[in-house]
Amino acid sequence: MDRKAVNEIRKLFNKNDCRIDKLRGCFVDENKQRVFEMKENFLALPDEEFVKYSDLFKKAMSGRFGRTLFNLEFPSEEEQEGGRQEFLYRLNRSGLMDETLLDEFYRKLVEKLQIQGKYLILAAHGVYDVPGRTSDNLEMEDASEYIYEFTACAICPITLTKEGLCCDAAAKTFVARPQDLGVDRPLLGFLFPAFNDRAGDIHAALYYSRKADERHEELVRDFLGTELPPDEEAQRSVFRRVIEETLGRDCGFAQVKEINEAVGEMVEAAKDSPEPAVLDKADMRKLLEDSGADADTMKKFETVYDENVEDGTALLAENVTDTSRLEVKTNGMKLSVKAEMAPIVETRVIDGIEYFLIPVSDDVEVNGIRIRSRRQPEPGQE
State pLDDT tens for residues 80-107. 999 999 999 999 999 999 999 999 999 9
pLDDT of 247 higher than 80: yes
Helix, strand, coil fractions of the chain, as percent rounded to 5: 35, 30, 35
- Mapping DSSP to helix (H, G, I), strand (E, B) and coil, where does residue 322 land? coil
Q: Which of 229-233, 242-246, 319-323 has the highest mean pLDDT?
A: 242-246
In this prediction, residue 66 carries a pLDDT of 84
Q: Which pLDDT does position 124 carry in this prediction?
A: 97
**What are φ and ψ of residue 187, in 5° steps?**
-90, -35
Q: What is the value of pTM for the model shown?
A: 0.81
Residue 150 has pLDDT above 90, yes or no: yes
**Which range among 14-18, 104-108, 237-241, 377-381 has the greatest average pLDDT?**
104-108
Q: pLDDT: is 104 or 352 the higher one?
A: 104
pLDDT band at 312 (very low <50, low <70, confident <90, very high): low
Q: In this predicted structure, what is the pLDDT of residue 26?
A: 96
- Where residue 207 falls among pLDDT bands split at 50, 70, 90? very high
Q: What was the pLDDT predicted at 380?
A: 59
| Strand-strand pairing, 346-350 and 333-338 | unpaired
pLDDT of 253 > 80? The answer is yes
Whether the predicted pLDDT of 121 surpasses 90: yes
* Nearest of 379, 375, 238 to residue 310 by alpha carbon: 238
Question: What is the per-residue pLDDT for 378?
Answer: 55
Whether the predicted pLDDT of 120 surpasses 60: yes
In the chain, what percentage of residues exceed pLDDT 70?
93
Mean pLDDT of 341-362: 83
Average pLDDT (67-83) is 94
Is the per-residue pLDDT at 227 higher than 70?
A: yes
Q: Is the predicted pLDDT of residue 137 greater than 70, yes or no?
A: no
Strand runs labelled E in the chain: 20-28, 34-41, 69-73, 119-133, 139-160, 164-168, 173-177, 181-183, 188-192, 194-196, 199-201, 204-209, 278-279, 315-316, 325-330, 333-338, 346-350, 353-357, 364-366, 369-371
**pLDDT at residue 369 is higher than 80:** yes
